Amino acid sequence: MKVLVTARSFGSADEKAQKLLEENGFQVKKLVAADGPINEQLIREIVDADAIIAGLEDYSAELLKTAKKLKVISRYGVGYDKVDIQAAKARGIAVTITPGANGDSVADMAMALMLSAARNVSYMDNCIKDGNQQRPTGVEMFGKTLGVIGAGRIGKGVAKRCKGFSMDILCYDTYQDEAFAQETGAIYVDFETIVKEADFITIHSPLNEETKNMFNKEIFQRMKSKAVIVNTARGGIIDEDALFEALKNGEIGAAGLDATVEEPPYNSPLLELPNCTITPHAGAATYEASSKMGFMAAQNILDIIQKGKCIFTVNQ
């Protein structure tokens, strides 16, 4: 049986996941950019694939029609907005995720972006390398107010880290975890309260109709003038045109984005701004997360093909 791998960092930490698949009779074929555009390779290879360990490429209804043998798309991560879930379900293709595997790595990345954006680290580094030293004035994180949009595993992880900075924690989520609130002193509030009171906002929500352009022109106008916003979730939750204007005009202080609408965002006007730090959706790019996600994605494939079910299936 054939397993395609499109996730770039699969196997970069160790060979545990690949060995697990091979020991269970699977032939593993990893698609790499050196052999041409991944999407073009995927069109050719998906025809006879039994399973895919999927990165961030699109799996449209049209593409899935050609996947005659495909039984499972095992997402290497937790987001699945790039997969046409209904089309997959209609064709009997399970879609699975790896919750929790990259939580610590993404939470660390959110902290890194908050600190970098608050203290202009990337900008100063670029200036030094260009031979043009600059010392822009930043803001402190210690003792400030953090707003968490989506207090799941990753959002909670960021909140726990921010307690080390003696920050007050505000959370916006449909589910309220009382044990977490007691542990961290977090307070669950409505969205508007976070918009008005948070000095730092970190986004950890899925992209859906409710969250699309959640942060827009009107919201930025109601945020604090030195507020820092960080997105390590999905592009599209922030209206990037509105963010550009808000940063350019000083309506908010800074932004750190590990997720953008277009990835990579080479044509984004946000790249022109010194107060916007952008990274290439690399929150999960650690050896530890790669190992955990790879093994979990491989195990999800085995569960679907050998047992007919997986507890991490999102389109049952």
pLDDT tens by residue, 1-33: 999 999 989 999 999 999 999 999 999 999 999
pLDDT for the residue 209: 95
78 has a pLDDT exceeding 90: no
> HSE-up of 55 (CA within 13 Å, CB side)?
22
d(CA 108, CA 230): 12
Identify whether residues 56 and 199 lie together within a single domain. Answer: no
pLDDT tens digit string along 151-199?
999 999 999 999 999 999 999 999 999 999 999 999 999 999 999 999 9
CB 181, CB 132: distance < 8 Å: no
Ramachandran quadrant class, 30 (left: phi over 0; alpha: psi -120 to 50; beta: rest):
beta
| Residue 312 domain-assigned (yes or no) | no
- Given pLDDT bands bounded at 50, 70 and 90, which one contains residue 309? very high
CATH number for position 297: 3.40.50.720
Identify whether residues 113 and 91 lie together within a single domain. Answer: no
pTM: 0.84
Single-letter amino acid, residue 26: F
pLDDT tens digit string along 241-270?
999 999 999 999 999 999 999 999 999 999
CA distances from 273 to 94, 106, 122, 241 (A): 42, 24, 11, 13
Q: Average of pLDDT values for 64-87?
A: 95
Identify whether residues 215 and 94 lie together within a single domain. Answer: no
Catalytic residue among 234, 245, 262, 272: 234
pLDDT tens digit string along 111-121?
999 999 999 99
- Catalytic (active site) residue 234: yes
CB 49, CB 67: distance < 8 Å: yes
CA distances from 123 to 117, 200, 201 (A): 9, 19, 20
* Beta-carbon count within 10 A of 129 CB: 8
CB 253, CB 275: distance < 8 Å: yes
Identify whether residues 184 and 143 lie together within a single domain. Answer: yes
Q: What angle do CA 291, 294, 296 make, to 5 degrees?
A: 105
Identify whether residues 206 and 255 lie together within a single domain. Answer: yes
Identify whether residues 163 and 31 lie together within a single domain. Answer: no
- Catalytic (active site) residue 222: no
pLDDT for the residue 142: 98
Q: Average of pLDDT values for 61-67?
A: 97
| Residue 148 domain-assigned (yes or no) | yes
CB 18, CB 4: distance < 8 Å: no
Identify whether residues 9 and 123 lie together within a single domain. Answer: no
| Residue 209 domain-assigned (yes or no) | yes
| Residue 315 domain-assigned (yes or no) | no
- Catalytic (active site) residue 281: yes
Domain residue limits at 93: 2-101+285-307
pLDDT for the residue 79: 85
pLDDT for the residue 210: 95
